[in-house]
Each structure stands twice: as C-alpha cells, then as structure tokens.
Amino acid sequence: MNAEKRARIFARLQEHNPNPTTELNWTTPFELLAAVLLSAQATDVGVNKATARLFPVAHTPQAIIDLGIDGLKSHIKTIGLYNTKAENLMKTCHILTERYAGEIPRTREELEALPGVGRKTANVILNTAFGELTMAVDTHIFRVSNRTRIAPGKNVLEVEKKLMRFVPKAYLKDAHHWLILHGRYTCLARKPRCGSCVIEDLCEFPDKVEIA
C-alpha cells in the first residue's frame, strides 16, 4: 500500500469519527491505568461496570491500598482473572505511592516496570492520558493492519513499528483509536462487514465479502 492511499484511509476515518477515544471510562491518568490493567482478556463494557463500583470508593493509588486486597477483589470480581489483576493493581499502587508520590510516570520504561503493565498498556497510557504519538497494537489493530495492508507484520511489535513509520503524522495521535474501533465494529475477525466499511474501496484485503 502506498503513502497516498494510507493518507486517504486515515482522512476517511477522521471524517467519520473526528474525535475518537477509548471506550473505557476514566477521568484521571491513574483511573485509565487501572482500567487498562483490568481490561486484559475482558471487554471494555465489563471493565466499565467494575470500575463504576470501584472508582467512587477508591480512585487513587493510596485509596486502593487503603481498600485492601480483599476489598479490591470484591469490587472487580466480575472481571476475568480478577485475582491476578487485583494483585498486580495493588502492587502497582504501592510502587506509585512509594516512588512517584501517587503520580503516573510518563516514560514507557517506567510504565512497563509496573506489575501487569506491558508495552501495549504503556502505549495506551502515553497516548490517551498524555497525548503522545504512540501506537498500542492489540488484536483488533493487528488484524486491521494486516487485512487492509496498511501495515502488515508477523507480530504486534512489527506492526507497531510499521504504523509509527507509515501513518501520516497528522493522524498519528488518533490512529490507535480509529483502528481499534474499526476492528471492533466493522472489520470483524470472522465476518468483516465490508459492505458497510467506510474504507472498503481503499482496502487491499483480497477476500472482501458482503455480510448481510
């Protein structure tokens, strides 16, 4: 795929969704970090239901610590793998209070050093909370990038690096959200909704199909 077509794709996505954002509910960088940490192998809807119970009670690292591990688990037990996630979130809260005065660090290296936080989560925080030009590649972005041929790659890191090179800089801040939403609602894994796709004519997927 050439640069002109990529630019047209992102211009089209921007036209149809000028202000894309995460579907996780959050109001502070810490709430976003907690929500993303809880979202692994879970839906945003499920996480939002849990954080709707948790955040009114505890929405800072110290408040989570004061809640205690059993109290934390009771608020997030509807989420898959909640025991492990509660342990990681609690350990992260202790690190944030002890090393960062309760604030969220703003480098990828520091974020990735937090329990339960990998490269994808760090990129989400840097992009969504702090407005940095990063690309958090999840299964949706990996699929869309390969299927459309925007940035084909054999693994998520290869796709991330290609997207950082190929996405026009004017669109890079929001590209992460456009691609996730496109993969979540249009370019589905098993039955892509090609007939209702706003970039269908620009897509290079060889097996485009009309799904009723």
Task: Return the ∠ at Cα 16 (arms to 183 and 201), rounded to 5°.
Answer: 65
Q: Is residue 113 part of a domain?
A: yes
Q: Which of 25, 37, 44, 24 is nearest to 64 (CA)?
A: 37
121 in the same domain as 35: yes
Cβ count within 10 A of residue 19:
7
3-state SS, residue 176: helix
166 in the same domain as 90: no
117 in the same domain as 139: no
d(CA 199, CA 85): 37
Q: Which of 123, 128, 152, 149 is nearest to 138 (CA)?
A: 123
116 in the same domain as 52: yes
123 in the same domain as 39: yes
Question: What confidence tier does 211 reach under pLDDT thresholds 50, 70, 90?
Answer: very low
Respond yes or no: is residue 5 known to be catalytic.
no
Helices (H), 126-168: 139-148, 156-166
Dihedral, CA of residue 72, residue 75, residue 78 and residue 81, to nearest 10: -10
Q: Mean pLDDT over all residues of the chain?
A: 93
71 lies in which domain range? 29-129
123 in the same domain as 35: yes
Residue 92 pLDDT greater than 50, yes or no: yes
87 in the same domain as 59: yes
Q: What is the CATH number of the domain that holds 11?
A: 1.10.1670.10
Region 59-72: mean pLDDT is: 96
91 in the same domain as 59: yes
pLDDT in tens, 147-199: 999 999 999 999 999 999 999 999 999 999 999 999 999 999 999 999 899 99
Spot the catalytic one: 120, 162, 173, 201: 120
Counting the structural domains of the chain, the total is 2
Q: Provide long-range contacts, Cβ within 8 A and 24+ apart, for 130-135.
A: 130/29, 130/106, 131/173, 133/164, 133/169, 133/172, 133/173, 134/108, 134/164, 134/176, 135/160, 135/163, 135/164, 135/167, 135/172, 135/175, 135/176
Q: Tell me: is residue 197 an annotated ligand-binding position.
A: yes
User: Which of 129, 154, 184 is the last residue before a domain boundary?
Assistant: 129
Spot the catalytic one: 5, 77, 91, 138: 138
d(CA 174, CA 10): 9
192 in the same domain as 147: yes
122 in the same domain as 138: no
Question: What confidence tier does 208 reach under pLDDT thresholds 50, 70, 90?
Answer: low
User: Which of 107, 129, 151 is the last residue before a domain boundary?
Assistant: 129
Q: What is the CATH number of the domain that holds 97?
A: 1.10.340.30
- The answer to whether residues 169 and 209 touch, using CB atoms and an 8 Å cutoff, is no
Region 118-142: mean pLDDT is: 94
Q: Tell me: is residue 93 an annotated ligand-binding position.
A: no
Respond yes or no: is residue 73 known to be catalytic.
no
Task: Return the ∠ at Cα 61 (arms to 60 and 63), rounded to 5°.
Answer: 65
- The answer to whether residues 211 and 193 touch, using CB atoms and an 8 Å cutoff, is yes
104 in the same domain as 88: yes
112 in the same domain as 173: no
User: Which of 129, 158, 173 is the last residue before a domain boundary?
Assistant: 129
